Amino acid sequence: MKATHPVFCTIVPPHVLDKLAQADDPVLAGPARRTLEADAAQRTHRRLTTVLGARPAASATADGKPHRTVHDAQHRQVLPGVKVRGEGEEPGQDATVNRAYAGLGATFELLLKGFARDSVDGNGLPLVASVHYGENYGNAFWDGEQMVFGDGDEIFRDFTLPVDVIAHELAHGLTQYTANLTYFGQPGALNESVSDVFGSLVKQYVNDQTADRADWLIGAGLLTDRVTGVALRSMKAPGTAYDDDVLGKDPQPAKMEDYVRTGRDNGGVHINSGIPNHAFYLLATDLGGKAWERAGRIWYDTLTGGSLEVDASFADFARATVAAARARFGDGEEHEALLKAWSLVGVPTG
């Protein structure tokens, strides 16, 4: 396993919060600015802990069972907060706590049953989450050690509502402990895309959906009625998740010909992730059935196979998926569907 370099990864892209922070309505702009400030503080903290060393992780027990702990940050920005639910304890009155606990469990279950992996590190790593973070905090993040969820504001609902948001952030831990993709440019977009893929797979697993019945939306139900949109991102049709007077239009491309070159958002990691996202959607729907059984298996094998460099490009990742598909399934329909998917989004596999 590669040495891990924890990064600070959020579900809501900075460009969305930037738009909100510039809104004329202070009800919208105020929470967005506070969220941006909180995110900036967490990024600084993450850089410091990367240099100085993170606090020791809770001891892992590779016993094939989840070890979950949920804390209440009590609207402060001090982590982890007050412990409110541990593994095996009965649900309480706080629905946010219960959803976080259940979402951690669903992600753990798919990793174990679908991929024979014991937690995100493969060695029973305890899953820690904090809810009720900050005041009107409009985001959720993985900080390299744990999950954190805000309660939302006028634009975003409670971030524990969509199970794929929970799984998305936890999947950043999966990437951290495997391919450890650098969080910038194309490897950063792959990092984000892998989290979208596994977030969507967990949602489909929870709902017992086949690929053709899934909505392939990331964060459906997260946006309030004030927003003209259905989700944060669409894997089926990147660039169509929202088109709003305040948020602007979803900027995600679906093909390499529309790749966005920018210095913002760590080189567009939340924007250009639409390209590998769409490739996965095309593969999964072409193969049919439960997406985690074949398409998801190829992505998992690619992530954990050890062939990816931390600065892998889209083409590097695509070639690695082809090798992974051939190793697991031979030169059958999985291989052909994969070549077709990458070709349709304009990423070479040769």
Rounded Cα distance, 308 and 296, in Å: 17
169 tagged catalytic: yes
Would you give the distance in Å from CA 101 to the centre of its chain? 17
The CA-based dihedral angle spanning residues 155, 159, 162, 164, taken in that order and rounded to the nearest 10 degrees = 120
Phi, psi for 234 (deg, rounded to 5): -125, 125
Q: How many Cα atoms within 13 Å fall on the side-chain side of residue 155?
A: 29
Of the candidates 145, 154, 168, 169, the residue annotated as catalytic is 169
| Residue recorded with tokens 């998926």 | 321
The two structure tokens encoding residue 173: 């831990």
Helical (H) or strand (E) element with 191: helix 185-206
Of the candidates 154, 270, 278, 334, the residue annotated as catalytic is 270
* Pairing relationship of beta strands 147-149 and 140-142 according to DSSP bridges: antiparallel
Rounded Cα distance, 7 and 4, in Å: 9
149 forms beta bridges with 140
Cβ atoms of residues 334 and 298 within 8 Å: yes
The two structure tokens encoding residue 92: 């309480």
270 tagged catalytic: yes
Hey, which residues are catalytic here? 169, 270
